[in-house]
Amino acid sequence: MAYFFEEPSHTFGEYLLVPGYSSDRCIPVNVSLQTPLVKFKKGEESKIKINIPMTSAIMQAVSDDTMAIALAKEGGVSFIFGSQSIEQQAEMVSRVKNYKSGFVSSDSNIKPTTTLGEILELKDETGHSTMAVTDDGTATGKLVGIVTSRDYRITRMSMDQTAEEFMTPFAKLVYADADTTNLSQANDMIWDNKLNMLPLVDKNQRLRYMVFRKDYTDNKQNRNEVIDNKKRYLVGAGINTRDYAERVPALLNAGADVLCIDSSEGFSEWQSITLKYIHEEFGDDVKVGAGNVVDAEGFRFLAEAGADFIKVGIGGGSICITRETKGIGRGQATAVIDVAKARDEYYRETGVYIPICSDGGIVHDYHMTLALAMGADFMMLGRYFSRFDESPTNRVRINGTYLKEYWGEGSNRARNWQRYDMGGDKKLSFEEGVDSYVPYAGSLKDNVELSLSKMRSTMCNCGALTIKEFQQKSKLTLVSSTSIVEGGSHDVILKDKFSHE
């Protein structure tokens, strides 16, 4: 007969934390959110630590090099998506490793023949009003001019006018040499010439970087950034259980700091074969996470197979329909609690601590705090990061509201790379993810700071100054469906429901 778990499985929204005693030292500035990313032995330290317990999901709609740089600046790590060619993925990794703080690649590029109408559409998509005009319309083409919103008047000009008619031409631009200018020189030029942006070009006038005035304060304030011993940002990359023999060396050559096998179901021989191959071929210094699993048995399997961290969660992702289509999964909170117990037991038995990552299903900021309290060492988030300026997807405006696109790796849109396909007849394949929109939310930095300030504040209410202490001290309670209603505002009429006359 089948095995039945005795308890129903629950998700984050069904739990609350009960405050504990907090001393006068328990104030948010004293809270450290540092956490281990990869396994370590008792008495030793994890070789890779992150300064905030957040990683961004291994997804086309979430983790490219721009996201990775923005998140590393704040103290977390991105895993660059693997559902692309090996060359493209390695290129993204190397862009993060070669990134010079403050020097950005142009993401809004137009040709001299681009019309004003097209420029306004692009501005809506990216949210950026400064555009480089290059001969071929690429980020590294020959720079022929710049268009900013000060160059056109929508009310007075025809939408058919082209960039070359109204751009500031190269001859009138202040620019600098990409090979010899450092950030502080660039910032001085911006200041002396009252510029908003300084383009840096090579000796053939090809655009290499832009330095923005608005980034100046950003560049000064990255207390939490995670860097390697050469002061380069840390970056992770997703891999699969099929082409690892070619993909892994390419990613390592590009400078990836940590890898993660990306699969919706990790309790499989394919994962142990992959882990064994990588550790035998490249040594134990190459760190590889594995997953996903949702119970103690799955954890134990991947731990013994050599995983450096283990991801937890099946079917809880916001764009995930695995539970509906295949009937597999487990409430995310119960899965985390169960796997955290298995991790602690494994640690007591072997003296090896394997961090676990709660992956998917974070809806409210406090869900992250709950995941930590339940034993997660860090979280992986998709929807959360997809809403920000730094995610790789288009920003669109529908009925006056700005939205960003967000699609699952198991959706048809992403599945050319067939992460969820087990082989066989293509016609019989089915989707495990959806293509959707999420509300646009602005910059990663602002949002992450706000989410983390809530996390620090809750930890203080529970008398904890570190994640470890929080896990030991937390008291959690399941709540009834009636008390969940009580948790939101209730029995009042919200003012924003009335429009002002």
Catalytic residue among 26, 208, 300, 320: 320
Choose the binding region for ligand RVP from 84-92, 189-197, 200-208, 316-324 (rule: CB under 6 A): 316-324
Choose the binding region for ligand RVP from 39-47, 86-94, 241-249, 356-364 (rule: CB under 6 A): 356-364
d(CA 433, CA 321): 5
C-alpha distance from residue 230 to each of 56, 65, 272, 368 (Å): 23, 18, 32, 31
C-alpha distance from residue 80 to each of 35, 215, 392, 439 (Å): 20, 24, 11, 23
C-alpha distance from residue 403 to each of 118, 287, 442 (Å): 19, 36, 10
Choose the binding region for ligand RVP from 299-307, 318-326, 442-450, 469-477 (rule: CB under 6 A): 318-326
- Virtual torsion, Cα 152, 153, 154, 156, nearest 10 deg: -120
Considering the complex, state which of residue 181 and residue 332 has its C-beta at the smaller distance from ligand RVP: 332
Tell me the HSE value of 358 on the side-chain side, using a 13 A CA sphere. Answer: 31
- Give the three-class secondary structure for 18: strand
- Give the three-class secondary structure for 89: helix
Considering the complex, state which of residue 65 and residue 359 has its C-beta at the smaller distance from ligand RVP: 359
As measured in angstroms, the least distance from the Cβ of 131 to ligand RVP is: 31
Considering the complex, state which of residue 173 and residue 363 has its C-beta at the smaller distance from ligand RVP: 363
Catalytic residue among 208, 383, 387, 419: 419
Task: State yes or no: residue 340 binds ligand RVP (CB under 6 A).
Answer: no
Indicate the helix (H) or strand (E) that contains 414. none
Two tokens at 244? 């690892």
As measured in angstroms, the least distance from the Cβ of 472 to ligand RVP is: 27
C-alpha distance from residue 296 to each of 5, 8, 276, 357 (Å): 12, 16, 21, 14
Residue 402 Rama label (left phi>0; alpha psi -120 to 50; beta): beta
As measured in angstroms, the least distance from the Cβ of 76 to ligand RVP is: 14
Task: State yes or no: residue 360 binds ligand RVP (CB under 6 A).
Answer: yes
As measured in angstroms, the least distance from the Cβ of 30 to ligand RVP is: 29
As measured in angstroms, the least distance from the Cβ of 454 to ligand RVP is: 17
Query: 394 and 387 in contact (C-beta within 8 Å)?
Result: no
Considering the complex, state which of residue 147 and residue 368 has its C-beta at the smaller distance from ligand RVP: 368
Question: What one-letter code names the amino acid at 106?
Answer: S
Which one of residues 212, 433, 451, 467 is an interface residue with ligand RVP (CB under 6 A)? 433
Task: State yes or no: residue 447 binds ligand RVP (CB under 6 A).
Answer: no
Considering the complex, state which of residue 226 and residue 319 has its C-beta at the smaller distance from ligand RVP: 319
Q: Count each helix (H run) and each strand (E run) in the chain, helices first.
A: 16, 24
Which one of residues 317, 329, 375, 392 is an interface residue with ligand RVP (CB under 6 A)? 317
Site residues for ligand RVP, 369-388, by CB under 6 A, read: 380-384
As measured in angstroms, the least distance from the Cβ of 150 to ligand RVP is: 38
Task: State yes or no: residue 359 binds ligand RVP (CB under 6 A).
Answer: yes
Tell me the HSE value of 111 on the side-chain side, using a 13 A CA sphere. Answer: 5
Considering the complex, state which of residue 199 and residue 360 has its C-beta at the smaller distance from ligand RVP: 360
CB burial of 245-256 (b: ≥16 within 10 Å; e: otherwise) equals eebbbbbbebbb
Q: In what order do the strands lie in the sheet with 207-212?
A: 176-177, 197-201, 207-212
Task: State yes or no: residue 53 binds ligand RVP (CB under 6 A).
Answer: no
Task: State yes or no: residue 319 binds ligand RVP (CB under 6 A).
Answer: yes
Task: State yes or no: residue 57 binds ligand RVP (CB under 6 A).
Answer: yes
Which one of residues 143, 198, 362, 462 is an interface residue with ligand RVP (CB under 6 A)? 362
Considering the complex, state which of residue 264 and residue 458 has its C-beta at the smaller distance from ligand RVP: 264
As measured in angstroms, the least distance from the Cβ of 61 to ligand RVP is: 9
Question: What one-letter code names the amino acid at 301?
Answer: F
Site residues for ligand RVP, 402-421, by CB under 6 A, read: 408-411
Task: State yes or no: residue 236 binds ligand RVP (CB under 6 A).
Answer: no
Query: 404 and 394 in contact (C-beta within 8 Å)?
Result: yes
Q: Which long-range contacts (CB under 8 A, 24 or more apart) does 125-130 make?
A: 125/394, 125/395, 125/396, 126/395, 127/389, 127/395, 130/196, 130/197, 130/210, 130/212
Cβ-proximal residue to ligand RVP, closest one: 433
462 is catalytic: no
Burial class (CB within 10 angstroms; exposed 0-12, middle 13-18, buried 19+) of 426: exposed
**What number of residues does the chain have?**
501
As measured in angstroms, the least distance from the Cβ of 321 to ligand RVP is: 6
Which one of residues 59, 71, 254, 302 is an interface residue with ligand RVP (CB under 6 A)? 59
419 is catalytic: yes
Task: State yes or no: residue 266 binds ligand RVP (CB under 6 A).
Answer: no
Catalytic residues: 320, 419
Applying CB under 6 A, the residues found at the interface with ligand RVP are: 57, 59, 313, 317-320, 322, 359-362, 380-384, 408-411, 432-433
